[in-house]
C-alpha cells in the first residue's frame, strides 16, 4: 500500500498543504522545528487516529484556528481509498470513502503505518510498558481479536483494583474476577507467543541486512506464567500474590506486567549492547513486522523520524539499500540526499518539492 496524496489544513504549523507521493523513498529535509515531524504525524494519524508523540488532539490544531483537516488517498493495487479526518473542539470525525467508521481500529486495516521515532532507540532499556505497547500494537494489526481481548483484560484489572481498594473486600467477587482475568490472559499469552515466534522467523534476516554482519538476533518473550498447566500455574501465582495485592491495593501480576528481551548472539542487548547496537536493533525491531504481512498489496507504509542520526556512513548506506526494497518509505532528516528518491525541502512549514 502507499499514500498517493495528502492534504492538510490547519494541522500543526501547516495552514494549507497538498502533496502527491509515489512509491519508494520520500525524504523530508529541513532544520529542526521546520515541520518535518508534523508531516509524519499526519501520516501516522491516518493509521491510528492519534499522534505518535502522545499529545492531545487539540494540540494538533493550528494556533488560533478551530479545526484541523487531514485528507488522504491510500492505494492498494488498483484500489483507492479516500480518508477524511476532521479534528475540532468536540473530538474527531473520520470518514472512509465518505462513510463514517464504527471503530477507530478500522483505520489500521486501511492504512498500516510503521513509525520509528528518536526515543525508540531506548526501547530495550526503557520501561517494560513500552515493549508491551510494541507487542500490543503489532499483534492488533495482525489479529483484530487481540485488541478486543486486551480491552477486556484492562477492564477486569480495573475492576479488580477497585475491589482491592475497598475497606472490606468481597472475597467471592475477587475470586470470580480473578478467574475471569486468568481466562482472558491465557488468550493474550497465546497470541503474544505466536507473534514472537513469527517475528523470530524474520528478525535475524532483517538485522543481517541492516548491520551487514551475521549476528543471530531473536526475541525472548517473558510471560507471567508458562502455558504448560496454565490455569493451575496462574491461580497459584495470583493466590501467592494476594496478600501483596491487598497491601498495595493493585493487581501486581498478569499480562500487564510482562516483558521481552532482544538477544544478539545470545546476549541481552539492553545489558550488553553498545549504544550503537541498541540503536540498530531498535530499527530492526520496528521494521521486522513489515514482513509478517503476507499480502504484498497491504505491506505497511514506513515512516522514520530522524532515523539516520548517529548512524555511520556504512550503516546509513545499508539501511537505505534495505529501505529501497519496501513499498513506501518516509524519512525526515536535517540534511539527507538519497538518489532516486522524492525530496521535499521544508522551511517554516513551506515545502519545495524536488523531483527524483
Cell numbers placing 106:
478500522
Asked if pLDDT for residue 47 goes beyond 70, the answer is yes
Asked if pLDDT for residue 87 goes beyond 60, the answer is yes
Q: Which residues of 43-79 are buried (b: 16+ CB within 10 A; e: fewer)?
A: bbbbbbbbbbbeeebeebbbeeeebbbbbbbbbbeee
The count of residues in the chain is 356
- CA distances to 177, 253, 327 from 161, rounded to whole Å, are 10, 12, 45
Beta partners for residue 280, in sequence order = none
The reported pLDDT for the residue numbered 102 is 86
What CA–CA distance (Å, rounded) separates 304 from 71? 21
Task: Yes or no: say if 301 and 258 are a contact pair by the CB < 8 Å rule.
Answer: no
State pLDDT tens for residues 258-288: 999 999 999 999 999 999 999 999 999 999 9
What CA–CA distance (Å, rounded) separates 322 from 319? 5
What DSSP designation does 61 have? B
What CA–CA distance (Å, rounded) separates 239 from 244? 10
CA 103, 108, 111, 115 torsion: positive or negative?
positive
Residue 170 CB partners (closer than 8 Å, separation 6+): 163
State pLDDT tens for residues 202-257: 999 999 999 999 989 999 999 999 999 999 999 999 999 999 999 999 999 999 99
The reported pLDDT for the residue numbered 346 is 94
The reported pLDDT for the residue numbered 353 is 80
Cell numbers placing 344:
521535499
How much is the mean pLDDT over the chain? 95
The reported pLDDT for the residue numbered 356 is 56
What CA–CA distance (Å, rounded) separates 95 from 347? 31
CA 93, 94, 99, 102 torsion: positive or negative?
negative
**Phi, psi torsion values for 331, nearest 5 degrees:** -130, 135
What CA–CA distance (Å, rounded) separates 14 from 348? 9
Cell numbers placing 179:
478467574
Binning pLDDT at 50, 70 and 90, where does residue 105 land?
Answer: confident
Strands of 31-186, DSSP E:
67-76, 79-88, 91-96, 99-100, 113-116
The reported pLDDT for the residue numbered 354 is 73
Cell numbers placing 143:
489479529
Instruction: Tell me the whole-structure pTM to 2 decimals.
Output: 0.94
Query: Residue 41: helix, strand or coil by DSSP?
Result: helix
Amino acid at each position: 500500500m502507499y499514500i498517493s496524496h495528502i492534504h492538510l489544513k490547519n494541522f500543526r504549523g501547516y495552514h494549507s498543504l497538498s502533496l502527491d507521493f509515489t512509491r519508494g523513498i520520500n525524504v523530508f529535509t529541513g532544520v529542526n522545528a521546520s515541520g518535518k515531524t508534523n508531516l509524519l504525524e499526519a501520516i501516522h494519524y491516518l493509521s491510528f487516529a492519534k499522534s505518535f508523540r502522545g499529545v492531545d488532539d487539540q494540540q494538533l490544531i493550528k494556533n488560533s484556528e478551530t479545526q484541523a483537516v487531514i485528507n488522504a488517498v491510500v492505494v492498494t493495487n488498483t484500489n483507492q481509498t479516500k480518508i477524511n479526518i476532521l479534528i475540532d473542539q468536540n473530538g474527531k470525525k473520520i470518514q472512509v470513502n465518505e462513510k463514517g467508521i464504527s471503530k477507530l481500529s478500522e483505520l489500521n486495516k486501511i492504512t498500516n503505518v510503521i513509525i520509528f521515532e528518536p526515543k525508540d532507540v531506548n526501547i530495550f532499556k526503557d520501561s517494560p510498558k513500552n515493549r508491551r505497547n510494541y507487542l500490543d500494537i503489532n499483534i492488533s494489526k495482525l489479529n483484530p481479536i487481540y485488541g478486543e481481548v486486551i480491552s477486556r483484560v484492562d477492564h477486569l484489572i480495573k475492576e479488580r483494583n477497585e475491589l482491592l481498594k475497598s475497606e472490606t473486600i468481597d472475597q467471592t467477587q475477587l475470586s470470580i474476577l480473578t478467574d475471569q482475568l486468568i481466562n482472558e490472559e491465557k488468550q493474550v499469552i497465546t497470541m503474544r507467543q505466536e507473534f514472537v515466534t513469527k517475528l523470530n522467523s524474520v528478525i535475524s534476516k532483517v538485522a543481517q541486512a541492516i548491520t551487514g554482519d551475521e549476528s543471530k538476533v531473536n526475541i525472548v518473550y517473558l510471560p507471567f506464567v508458562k502455558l504448560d498447566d496454565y490455569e493451575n500455574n496462574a491461580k497459584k501465582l495470583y493466590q501467592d500474590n494476594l496478600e501483596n495485592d491487598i497491601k498495595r491495593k493493585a493487581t501486581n501480576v498478569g499480562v500487564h506486567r510482562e516483558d521481552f528481551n532482544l538477544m544478539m548472539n545470545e546476549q541481552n542487548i539492553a545489558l550488553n549492547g553498545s549504544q550503537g547496537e541498541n540503536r540498530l536493533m531498535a530499527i530492526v525491531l520496528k521494521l521486522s513486522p513489515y514482513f509478517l504481512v503476507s499480502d504484498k498489496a497491504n505491506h505497511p507504509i514506513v515512516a522514520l523520524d530522524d532515523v539516520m542520526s548517529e548512524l555511520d556512513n556504512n550503516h546509513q548506506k545499508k539501511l537505505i539499500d534495505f529501505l529501497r526494497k519496501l513499498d513506501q518509505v518516509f524519512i525526515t532528516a536535517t540534511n539527507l540526499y538519497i538518489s532516486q528518491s522524492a525530496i521535499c525541502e521544508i522551511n517554516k512549514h513551506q515545502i519545495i518539492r524536488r523531483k527524483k
